[in-house]
Structure formats: structure tokens, C-alpha cells
Amino acid sequence: MSTSLTEAIAISAAQLVVEDGMEYAEAKRKAARQLAGPRARPGELPRNEEVEEQVRAHLALFCADSQPAELRALREAALQWMQRLAAHRPHLAGATWRGTATRRSALLLDLYCDDAKSAEIDLINLGIRFDAGGDGSAAGPPVLTLATRVADWAEPVTLHLVLHDLDDLRGALKPDARGRSWRGDAAALQRLLAAQP
């Protein structure tokens, strides 16, 4: 495996994540096509943690003046949705949880439901319009997607509600290789907000 190509893909993917709001998987594939063309092999794609390191470096270099405020606004919006959907045991995941979100990032809430249809019914009862679909794979969990407002931003933000079985919650809080969690509940998010300047 070529370390230099893998690192170059991670750097390019990080730029796509920050500037275009792409998800990691899509950004890695696009960066690999741009840098290696058809000769790119799956083994040369960086791990998500490697891309995240490059995202953090990109944010520190190019977005240090705006990203912290954008992250806080997204976390506050996520907390409001978590409180609205408390019956479904919401956990914030993705860039907003990990601290790398910008205004181009989508919000990602994992819901752990006794019955996945109950989340849809609750949204309908609240008068909230959403699109129902999957995550792009046949085996992936159902995803409800909607647009939400954040603070006083002109543009809406995409919110993905990923519907999991309640039993999936047991393994959901396993940390990454560095001991950082991939998601957190409302109490954990409130602690992050309290610690964030």
C-alpha cells in the first residue's frame, strides 16, 4: 500500500468534506478517482480516522475563525431535536458530535427505537415533512431525512434520522482506536456544549 497516495487521498477527501459537505465515504471515493483514476485500489483508501485528522488540520488552517461558532450552532440545533425525539433515545453522531462540523455539514441523529415506525408517526403528528429511505445499501437501517433551521442561518441544514433497533444501542457507544466515542446522548452533548467556549 502506498502511504503517500493514501495520505494524499485523505487530504483531498478532507477538503471535500469541509468545503462541499460530503460524507467521508463519498469524499474518499471522489478523491481516489481524482488522484489515482482507475488504478486506485480499495486498500489505498484511508480510514475514516485518517480523514478526520486531515479535516481537523484543514479546519485549523482555513476555518479557525468561523468553525467553532458554526459547530456550536449545529450542536444547539441537534440538542433541540434530541429533546423533541427523546422517546426514541437519540444519539448525536457524525461531524457535529466529533467536533468537525461546519455549516455545510448535515446533522446525524441515531434513534434507537422499540418500533421504527413510531419515529415516523411522531414526525407526522408533529406536522414535520420528511423523506424516507435507506443509507444507500440494501442492508442499511432506514433513514428519515428532513430540512431544519439552525440559529439565524439563511440556508436550512439537512437532518438525517437513522432508525436502529433498541438492541443496537448496546454496541453503539464503543470508542474508536483513540478512545473517542462515535456518538453521544443528550446529556453527553450538553456536557460538550458546557465545555465549549
The string of pLDDT tens digits covering residues 3-47 is 588 999 999 999 999 999 899 999 999 999 999 887 777 778 899
Identify the domain containing residue 149 by its residue range. Answer: 67-195
Exposure b/e, 174-195, CB count within 10 A at least 16 = b: eeeeeeeebbbbbeebeebeee
pLDDT for 2 equals 46
| CATH code at position 189 | 3.30.460.10
Query: What SS3 state is found at 197?
Result: coil
Q: Are residues 50 and 80 in the same domain?
A: no
What one-letter code names the amino acid at 85?
Answer: L
Q: Are residues 32 and 76 in the same domain?
A: no
Q: Is the pTM of this model over 0.75?
A: yes
Q: Are residues 175 and 79 in the same domain?
A: yes
Spatial contact of 137 and 191, defined as CB atoms under 8 Å apart: no
Q: Are residues 99 and 113 in the same domain?
A: yes
In the predicted model, is pLDDT for residue 129 greater than 50? Answer: yes
pLDDT for 134 equals 57
Instruction: Domain count for the chain, please give it.
Output: 2
Q: Which of 11, 38, 62 is the last residue of a domain?
A: 62
What does the DSSP 8-state code read for residue 47? P
In the predicted model, is pLDDT for residue 66 greater than 50? Answer: yes
All residues at 6 or more sequence positions from 95 whose CB lies less than 8 Å from its CB, including other chains:
17, 55, 101, 102, 105, 108
Q: Which of 43, 62, 81 is the last residue of a domain?
A: 62
- pLDDT > 90: what percent of the chain? 72
Average pLDDT over residues 130-143: 74
φ and ψ at 138, to 5 degrees? Answer: -65, -30
pLDDT for 12 equals 96
Q: Is pLDDT larger for residue 91 or for residue 42?
A: 91
